[in-house]
């Protein structure tokens, strides 16, 4: 953050009218405002890179209409029980070598069983020993479960609210919006950073996108990471035939999120595989400064690593360095592509 120009405090008192007014700004004015805010808090040419691994796949009892992992929908997805710790660590090593600074582990559960917490904690400790930031998304968490993960050293917990409170029931009926907020509170109380955003393009109106961001921006603490997912229309799910969201509306959502939560990382998450380079570039201009890197996001496709690094090179974007104090953070080159892309990042010059 640029301490010389950033405001001393962040706003948590946004109103729906203010947010809807931001959405309604002329496109150029909105992007100018978002970019101006972004530059007060972040290097505009630096993007944080994360890797996401499915550590337990399929047979989720929830009915989220977008999700191929729900046991209620026939999507042809193969299932896999909770992975062994060493397999997870092998994937984390690969992520580190490819240049990711955060390793996220996701399990298709309504909530974790207490009997699994020891294995999950071992995963967290092992990934942290590699020098990576750690993140998990495991469904709902009780306070005691959050404390176990915090004691293991978990840095972030992801639990998206998905959409506005008003539209939520159109997408999910097996858990309430309030239960999602309760999990966020449990995570925050345990001292874990919050990763929370939503999905756009599920048939919601602009008012719902405003309502989703209103919820996030008026939490007692803004989520440190705000993933904005574009719906991936998976055959077999109820939203498989949902029409495309207008690309400019997607960028507007990124820009408004940046203005409302200026100190948060706003992440381009699911849906990038179908985005043009031009659309992603507009999203970065609007204030997105984090991506998931690697050809797979849990069970859905993601752009090839070489394609991401080619785009970064063309835009003059550099990936963020590893966390300060990591064994790999100082003076080490971060190879963020295979040799044929020609891009290597020297963290010592960051």
* Residue 324 banded pLDDT, cuts 50, 70, 90: low
User: Which residues are CB-neighbours of 43 under 8 A, at least 6 positions away?
Assistant: none
Supply the pLDDT for residue 4.
43
At 346 the pLDDT is: 31
Could you report the per-residue pLDDT of 159-200, keeping only the tens digit for each? 999 999 999 999 999 999 999 999 999 999 999 999 999 999
DSSP state letter for 175? S
How much is the mean pLDDT over the chain? Answer: 85
At 347 the pLDDT is 28
pLDDT digits (tens, 9 = 90+) for 115-133: 999 999 999 999 999 999 9
For residue 331, pLDDT beyond 80: no
Contacts of residue 8, defined as CB under 8 A and 6 or more positions apart, other chains included, come to: none
Q: So what's the pLDDT on residue 300?
A: 53
The answer to whether 231 and 243 have CB atoms below 8 angstroms apart is no
Is the pLDDT score of 293 beyond 90?
no
How far from 124 is each of 31, 147, 165, 204, 253, CA to CA, in Å? 38, 13, 32, 36, 32
Residue 304: what pLDDT? Answer: 64
Q: Is pLDDT at 137 greater than 50 in this prediction?
A: yes
Most confident of 83-92, 206-215, 235-244: 206-215
C-beta of residue 289 within 8 angstroms of C-beta of residue 95 = no
Instruction: Please give the Cα distance from 12 to 222 (Å, whole number).
Output: 8
At 40 the pLDDT is: 95
Coil/strand/helix, residue 298? coil
| Contact (CB, 8 A) for 236 and 230 | no
Q: Establish whether 305 is a catalytic residue.
A: no
Point out the catalytic residue in the list 33, 175, 180, 195: 195
Q: Which residues pair with 104 in a beta bridge?
A: 52, 135
Residue 100: per-residue pLDDT: 84
Alpha-carbon gap, residue 13 to 36, rounded angstroms? 21
- Specify whether 267 is catalytic: yes
Where would I find the H helices in the chain? 16-23, 27-41, 85-98, 117-129, 143-152, 177-189, 206-217, 247-260, 277-285, 305-315
Choice among 102, 135, 175, 258 that is catalytic = 135
Question: Please, are residues 137 and 165 in contact by the beta-carbon 8 Å criterion?
Answer: no
Q: Which of 102, 104, 196, 233 is flagged as catalytic?
A: 104
Mean pLDDT over 299-305 rounds to 58
User: Catalytic one among 33, 64, 196, 272?
Assistant: 64
* Active-site option among 258, 267, 272, 318: 267
For the stretch 211-270, pLDDT in tens is: 999 999 999 999 999 999 999 988 889 999 999 999 999 999 999 999 999 999 999 988
- Distance CA(230)–CA(240), nearest Å, equals 13
| Percent above pLDDT 90 for the chain | 60
The answer to whether 135 is a known catalytic residue is yes
Cα(325)–Cα(314) distance, integer angstroms:
30
For residues 37 and 262, what is the distance between their CA atoms, to the nearest angstrom? 6
Burial (CB count within 10 angstroms: exposed 0-12, middle 13-18, buried 19+), residue 276: exposed
């Amino acid at each position: 953050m640029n301490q010389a120009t950033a405001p001393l405090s962040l706003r948590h008192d946004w109103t729906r009218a203010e947010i809807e007014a931001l959405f309604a700004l002329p496109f150029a004015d909105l992007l100018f405002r978002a970019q101006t805010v972004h530059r007060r808090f972040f290097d505009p040419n630096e993007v944080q890179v994360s890797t996401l691994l499915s550590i337990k796949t399929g047979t989720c009892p929830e009915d989220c209409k977008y999700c191929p992992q729900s046991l209620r929908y026939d999507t042809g997805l193969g299932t896999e029980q909770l992975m062994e710790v060493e397999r997870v660590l092998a994937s984390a090593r690969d992520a580190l070598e490819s240049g990711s600074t955060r390793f996220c582990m996701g399990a298709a559960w309504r909530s974790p069983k207490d009997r699994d917490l020891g294995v999950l904690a071992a995963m967290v400790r092992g990934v942290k020993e590699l020098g990576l930031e750690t993140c998990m998304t495991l469904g709902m968490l009780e306070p005691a479960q959050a404390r176990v993960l915090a004691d293991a050293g978990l840095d972030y917990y992801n639990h998206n609210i998905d959409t506005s409170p008003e539209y939520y029931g159109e997408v999910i009926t097996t858990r309430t919006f309030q239960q999602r907020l309760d999990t966020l509170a449990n995570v925050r109380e345990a001292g874990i950073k919050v990763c929370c955003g939503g999905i756009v393009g599920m048939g919601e109106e602009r008012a719902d996108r405003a309502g989703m961001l209103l919820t996030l921006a008026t939490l007692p603490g803004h989520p440190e990471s705000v993933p904005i997912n574009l719906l991936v229309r998976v055959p077999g799910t109820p939203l498989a035939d949902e029409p495309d969201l207008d690309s400019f509306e997607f960028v507007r959502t990124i820009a408004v999120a940046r203005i409302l939560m200026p100190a948060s990382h706003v992440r381009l998450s699911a849906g990038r595989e179908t985005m043009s380079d031009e659309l992603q570039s507009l999203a970065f201009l609007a204030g997105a400064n984090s991506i998931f890197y690697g050809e797979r996001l849990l069970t859905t496709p993601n752009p090839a690593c070489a394609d991401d690094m080619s785009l970064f090179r063309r835009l003059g974007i550099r990936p963020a360095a590893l966390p300060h104090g990591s064994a790999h953070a100082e003076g080490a080159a971060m190879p963020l592509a295979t040799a044929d892309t020609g891009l290597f990042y020297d963290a010592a010059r960051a």
